[in-house]
Amino acid sequence: MYKSILILLLVLGIHTLEAQSRWTTAAEEKAITDLMAQMTLAEKVGQMTLFTSDWDQTGPTLREGYREDIKTGKVGAIFNAHTADYNRELQRISVEETRLGIPLIFGYDVVHGYRTIFPIPLGEAASWNVVSAQENARIAAREAASAGLHWTFAPMVDVARDARWGRVMEGAGEDVYLGQVMARARVKGFQGDDLADPFTVVACAKHFAAYGAAQAGRDYHTVDISERSLREIYLPPFKTALDAGVGTFMTSFNEVDGVPASGNHHLLTDILRNEWGFEGFVVTDYTSINEMIPHGIVANEAEAGELAANAGVDMDMQGAIYYNNLVDQVANDLVSLERVDEAVREILRIKYALGLFDDPYRYNDLERQRDNIFTADHIAAARAAARESLVLLKNDQQTLPLAKTIKKLAVIGPLAISQEDMLGAWHADGRGANCVSVLSGIQEALGKGAAVTYLPGVPVVGDDATGIPAAVAAAKLADAVIVVAGENWTMSGEAASRTDINLPGRQAELIRQLHATGTPVIVVLLNGRPLALTDIVDYADAILEAWYPGTAGGQAIADIVFGDYAPAGKLPITFPRSVGQIPIYYNMKNTGRPLDFANKYTSKYLDESNDPLFPFGFGLTYTTFSFGTPEATVEQSRDSVTISVSIDVTNTGKRAGREVVQLYIRDLVGSVTRPVRELKAFQLVDLAAGERQTVQFSLTAEDLSFLRRDMSWGMEPGAFDIFIGNDSRATQRVSVVIE
Ligand code: BGC
């Protein structure tokens, strides 16, 4: 008895001495405590400092100052430096030349691949395939980790409903649920089961929070949303990333309710730490502590650092605010030592979890780097992922697929020969020279049997239309024309907002003139945002949305164009008719005056329809599917609800194909108004021609829950409509009542 009490006391003793962590063992916690006891305040602040290296195209150089900072323990993390040997040298300085030998953590934006580039995240989300999204992230992690990296600034989980915002390309689009499942897949892919596995990297859920709600789609602009939209729309993918075990969070540039995210105690401490119980560390976005001065919430850098530290920011990216001010702020009792210790402990825990204290060079092996980057397997996975990301928006008279026996094909548009534009923004170490262009992909698929003529037509941007007559002449002689149109890759991504989302330059005019030849016109689009295609939709026989498809994009496009693979992608974001409809998204509210053409005083435009050109969830394939009548049963007990829904789906066409069967709900009456549709589940169903399958879904109370009038999260009894189909306009309906 006495003995067991003693053991209990000892155990409790350890617990009170060392904080608990999901990242570390009790022994590691003790090692952290011992290490921190030896650290000066300046060294602690060093752990809270992240600097970029000066890596450029000709090779990396680290500014002398940074080398000195590493040596003196003033920086604990470096980003934008990569390759096993380069980072080994920096790590060597940190481990062998600093007083305490604490290893550095190396971060980089490995967003959709390191060297093998996968489709941009918006394109990957168009596959609705969480299994491949996870696998793609796993490969990206494998390559990054082999190149000396420990940490990726991804996934970007910002819900984005404004096509003008250039960063819509980086996330999973407009929907909360699709955003959540993609967030989970990507975090699990990057981090694997265990960060100690040297082929994984720690992920970073960014940008916390509501960055996607920038007013008018202008990057870095003000965000002004209600606590309700914040919690119902913008935060859930972050919470899912956290539940999937994400190790770090990045703050956003924007303000939320008047307080910039990097100084926002409500977001970083009340919600992230206290409500959600986040364990891991919070890094800022690039110089976003400094930017609180122009935001107008602090007068100088010292105040900015104080606000950030007290709000809950653990690491300062590139701003040198902690570096220059935090020691004084602690000495002056403006930031507590406990706060600094908390941040340092979180950072050291992640370094422990990565195994860096066991072997700081475990990510710096040249042989591993050689064997694991841009391998045949990875390239094949990138090709498969690209195929799955393509969305067939239009296909009149089954223009696609083209027969490989085609004799004469005209390929038009400078994007057709661009390798660089296959990559899209945030392509890490991806190289244009490694990419297969659309033209090369087509030529490879057709071999020598067909005459393929290429002409630029018009440039992507600018007013030069002099190439149109030659393109038209080539089209007249061809059996089909493929026009590769869209945006250059630099036209989306960070700091790449646009007020005009039509096809830039004279591309629409080119397409219209090609159409006038009578030769079938297939438009292949490369772009990172929804485009307004109203000007060309009637002048194309087929439209294939290819996003920026990555390394093997040209082959993937050819796989679809010539029917080796049937398209299966579905839009993860609404395509408006015109920029004037923005913001436009499927899960809008009904309003008190829903559209009624017979009544002038209802919610509509004088000059434009309310409907988008292509709705969320939409995408065609080479076969057709029919949906039976859905059936639902409700099982309800005192504390649980299960709704089982089933529907028959039949492939009614002549080819095998994949359908993304989508389930939406509508809560008809709530204590606050509810959206007209909310995606709650989907399934990918592969069916042979003529095959039928009963697809089953199961919903729980959580799927019916929302932020009620009193701000509590939960379900309300009442009637729900359930819609199932192949896009957000699904018409097959079944209704249930929850008591
Ligand atoms: C971007 C982040 C990125 C960081 C580091 C910032 O400008 O907003 O998404 O992770 O730079 O490259």
Q: Residue 18 contacts by C-beta under 8 Å, 6 or more apart in sequence?
A: 26, 29, 30, 32, 33
pLDDT bucket at 56, cuts 50 / 70 / 90:
low
Q: What is the pLDDT of residues 429-467, one digit of tens each?
A: 999 999 999 999 999 999 999 999 999 999 999 999 999
Ligand 1 binding pocket includes 206 (Cβ within 6 Å): yes
Distance 243 CA to ligand 1 centre (A): 23
The pLDDT of residue 55: 74
- How large is the average pLDDT for residues 195-215? 98
Q: Which of 51, 120, 286, 492 to mutate to test the pocket of ligand 1 (most atoms within 8 A of CB)?
A: 286
Residue 3 has pLDDT above 90, yes or no: no
Ligand 1 binding pocket includes 219 (Cβ within 6 Å): no
Task: Give the start-to-end residue ranges of the domains of the chain.
Answer: 385-574, 625-738
Query: Of the candidates 257, 162, 252, 173, which has an alpha carbon nearest to the alpha carbon of residue 216?
Result: 162
- How large is the average pLDDT for residues 547-561? 98
Distance 250 CA to ligand 1 centre (A): 9
How many other β-carbons are positioned within 10 Å of the β-carbon of residue 650? 16
Ligand 1 binding pocket includes 716 (Cβ within 6 Å): no
- Dihedral angle sign, alpha carbons of residues 227, 228, 232, 233: negative
CA 352 remoteness from chain centre: 27
The token duo for 619 is: 């995408």
Distance 245 CA to ligand 1 centre (A): 21
What strands, in cross-sheet order, belong to the sheet with 281-283? 204-208, 248-251, 281-283
CATH 2.60.40.10, domain 385-574, yes or no: no
**Protein residue whose Cα sits closest to atom 6 of ligand 1:** 286
The pLDDT of residue 54: 78
Distance 185 CA to ligand 1 centre (A): 21
How many other β-carbons are positioned within 10 Å of the β-carbon of residue 403? 11
Separation between Cα atoms, residue 395 and residue 414, nearest integer Å: 23
Distance 285 CA to ligand 1 centre (A): 6
- How large is the average pLDDT for residues 122-143? 98
Q: Which amino acid is at 426?
A: W
Nearest atom in ligand 1 to the alpha carbon of residue 207 is 9
| Catalytic site includes residue 197 | no
- Dihedral angle sign, alpha carbons of residues 225, 227, 232, 236: positive
- How large is the average pLDDT for residues 168-196? 98
- How large is the average pLDDT for residues 191-210? 98
CA 380 remoteness from chain centre: 22
Nearest atom in ligand 1 to the alpha carbon of residue 153 is 10
Q: Which of 285, 288, 426 to mutate to test the pocket of ligand 1 (most atoms within 8 A of CB)?
A: 285
User: 625-738 adopts what CATH topology?
Assistant: Immunoglobulin-like (2.60.40)
Q: Residue 638 contacts by C-beta under 8 Å, 6 or more apart in sequence?
A: none
Beta pairing partners, 706? 714
Ligand 1 binding pocket includes 153 (Cβ within 6 Å): yes
Query: Of the candidates 258, 255, 266, 323, which has an alpha carbon nearest to the alpha carbon of residue 291?
Result: 255
Distance 252 CA to ligand 1 centre (A): 9
Distance 387 CA to ligand 1 centre (A): 28
Q: What is the pLDDT of residues 4-53, one digit of tens each?
A: 444 444 444 444 445 678 999 999 999 999 999 999 999 999 999 999 98
Q: What is the DSSP string of 382-409?
A: HHHHHHHH-EEEEEGGG-PSPPTT--EE
- DSSP code, position 268: I
pLDDT bucket at 62, cuts 50 / 70 / 90:
low
Ligand 1 binding pocket includes 494 (Cβ within 6 Å): yes
Share the mean pLDDT of the chain.
96
Ligand 1 binding pocket includes 220 (Cβ within 6 Å): no
The pLDDT of residue 477: 98
Under 8 Å between Cβ of 616 and 586: yes
- DSSP code, position 610: S
Q: Which of 69, 162, 285, 667 is catalytic?
A: 285
Query: Interhelix angle for 26-38 vs 2-17, to 10°?
Result: 50
The pLDDT of residue 720: 98
Ligand 1 binding pocket includes 328 (Cβ within 6 Å): no
Residue 144 has pLDDT above 90, yes or no: yes
The pLDDT of residue 65: 80
Ligand 1 binding pocket includes 69 (Cβ within 6 Å): no
